[in-house]
Structure 1
Amino acid sequence: MARRANLSIFKDKAGMETLNIFEVDREVQEDNPENFKLDPRDKMSREKEEPTKSIILDETEPDRTVKIGARLTEQVKKDVMNLLKEYRGIFAWCHEDMPGIDRSVISHNLAVNEKCKPVVQKRRSFNPERSAAIKEEVSKLLAAGSIIEVKYPEWVANVVLVKKKNNQWRMCIDFTDLNKACPKDSFPLPRIDQLVDAIAGHETLSFMDAYSGYNQIKMHKPDEEKTAFTTDQGLYCYTVMPFGLKNAGATYQRLVNKMFARQIRRNMEVYVDDMLTKSVTADRHAYDLRETFDVLVKYGMKLNPAKCVFGVPFERFLGYQVHQRGIEVNPEKIQALARMVSPKTLKDVQKLTGCLASLSRFIAKSTDRCLPFFKALKKGKGIEWNEVAKKPSGP
């Protein structure tokens, strides 16, 4: 058995060419051509989001809910619900709910090279909409104690606003200059392919996400002022580890590896701030969750209730659809490829190869089949979307 994909070009009546992807997410017999007839877009809803139900953690605050699997047996559902209510303190509903990880456990040290000259970035201007978004976010961070005012900082960076999926603004800081002065922390992150493979064979899963995960780790005190940034309201620096700092991911992984050392590979998997508790059988899940929750309480880490789901047989995790049978490709990745038109520019080919790279483990002989695309990326050559490139990459 092997996972296979068939890639081909379809031209509609208007002459528009579209890239079609066939049978990306199925295990098929190597020698059975009948398996390559269906367009996956006819069955993309084959395995949708697992049905869940919201439960109220505290009757005095009915708006505070979390999601649990709707298909759990009554006894398992009761056990998980009671456990979540017992440990409702592990959830954060706003920044003020996060005390943060104690500095005696971990803090983020920049280790700035003293030979590097500090940089004060030239201040950027923003339109009224963006300025209002910055002001609002600064107020929230000040109230939570995540930032403080600073005077005479040697390093000063600018704010960068990024549009989120919900059309709201995410405030980030341009730490480009500061990051150049910091050495690389080579602490290893888990290999995603090995991590998701380790989930296979587990009947019940719970997916957890830390609330503003990076912000739960505090900055090394002497390094706080180096994170200074400028706004219309003044100069501020972070007391917590902000997103965008070099080595922030390594620092976070070091923390969770320490926290969940006794559970990782046994009944838990962790990739930075994405956490998963797994149970071979559903009736053990409440026990495994309790072990996880006890660790969260011990270290003071808080979860984001809006991004957690408990007691489900499958869910999307690190870009894959994971469940007891193993892993499948994320349907959204198939849809993204199915909507693509034939590449016209070098950037289009780069986008195509990037999408295919994320699906490579599901495409037999993916390197051979994508060879025409890689050849098109060679420097000094123009884009030639010829018959070889258009040829279906399946057998």
Structure 2
Amino acid sequence: MENFEISEESNLPPDPIISFGPEDLRGVVAPHNDALVVTVTIANYDVARIFVDSGSSVNVLFKGTLDQMKMEGFELEPISTPLYGFTGHAIRPLGQIFLPVSMGNDPRRVTKMVSFTVVDAPSSYNGILGRPAMKDFRAVASTYHQKLKFPVGREVGMLRRDHKVARRCYDGVVREEGKKTRVEVSMIRRGGAMLTVARREVQTLEEEEPEVVELGVSGEKLKIAADLEIEAKEKLIICLKANLDVFAWSVQELRGIKPAVMEHKLNLLSGVRPVKQKKRHFGPDKDKVIKEEIGELLWAGHIREVQFSTWLSNVVLVPKSSGRWRMCVDFRDLNKACPKDCYPLPRI
């Protein structure tokens, strides 16, 4: 069996030892299965929601992120190799771009030129740092400790995870990102020489709560994006105030359409016997939710009580992504008794 030895250049300083210990677990709620999501600086933009994926063979930057950065002077290099996810579906990249990426904070900050594959696809993340970036930065990631460490000279730099952001990305509930501005001069090293990146305004891409605007004297409020420009925000508020009557501010205002304008009737197949479903039991917690939902519908006038019903269907509670319940009605027996429309929608 042959032995292989990795040779190192004598003029390169030895890398510091990178390790993870109990002190790295401070602030980490265990046990967890969270992905490692960090914030890095890409071409002078502090970009949040960067997924560290050691299983990815490429570094990915999504088109939506690139559009928000509003960069000039950078062109995409054509690339023909498709990307394949774990589902086996192929995605055709828009191109490839080389951008300076910085990790850490001064004095333990390091910058490298990183090749990104630009993809036009929906994602909760702004980008993915794969194996190529991990190799360039000689970084070591620990999802258990929720940290990314990398050598900076003879010291060790570190990125901590964005815990709440990682959870929101996993759940697919990510709000619109706002922008904050500062000025920064960045230095990068290429071929042993120090190059200065031009002084420019830095757009910080991070999450921001929507702004609540009061529109009427009765306390009507709406949420609008917090990152709107001042002129656009003023025009939007003027438009909303001028059209307050368009919105329904309570369930009582949702009166529906008058039967004189339009009325919907169910066509039943001839000879079909009405079905009265047996009463189902949901338990005290679900019964409380059903009682509250029915009470609101009765109070708003959307439903009325019927003493002798021909058809009788139970309600069904469906869990929402927010953890609450959505009340539906089990109309399967009624649907079976209705003739099927072969063309329920017009051909577009």
Q: Same fold by TM (over 0.5)?
A: no
- Whichever of the two has the greater Rg, that structure is 2
Higher strand proportion, which one? 2
Higher helix proportion, which one? 1
Question: Which TM-score tier does this pair reach, normalised by the shorter chain?
Answer: 0.3 to 0.5
Q: Which has the higher contact order (CA 8 A, sep 6+)?
A: 1
